[in-house]
Amino acid sequence: MTAIEMPGRLPFWQRLLFAIPLFGWLARDAANGKPEDLGYTAAALVSMWGCSALLFGLPGLYLPALAMVPVMFLILVLISRG
């Protein structure tokens, strides 16, 4: 028995996302875990962003935010389409 009950067959994009070593584990836990796990996932992502800023300096702070620009643009387009 596993800790998280998974559905029988996941869509391809979820299988691809869940296969990424660190982020996939966080995404699977946030998608299928308890409701409070979403807060832990957000805290882990913010902590990783902070660690990259400490490790790499300003590029570690700016580049993850810059990488999220296309993602937010896609979200805005999807929202506008209804």
* Across 40-66, average pLDDT: 90
Q: What is the pTM of this model?
A: 0.58
Q: What is residue 19's predicted lDDT score, i.e. its pLDDT?
A: 85
Give the residue numbers spanning the domain of 24.
12-80
Has residue 1 got a pLDDT over 60? Answer: no
Q: Which two tokens stand for residue 12?
A: 């391809």
Identify whether 6 is part of a domain: no
Per-residue confidence at 74, pLDDT binned at 50, 70, 90? Answer: very high
Mean per-residue pLDDT of the chain: 84
CA distance 60 to 20: 21
Q: What is residue 60's predicted lDDT score, i.e. its pLDDT?
A: 92
Identify whether 46 is part of a domain: yes
Identify whether 76 is part of a domain: yes
Identify whether 59 is part of a domain: yes
Q: In the chain, how many domains are there?
A: 1
Q: What is residue 58's predicted lDDT score, i.e. its pLDDT?
A: 92
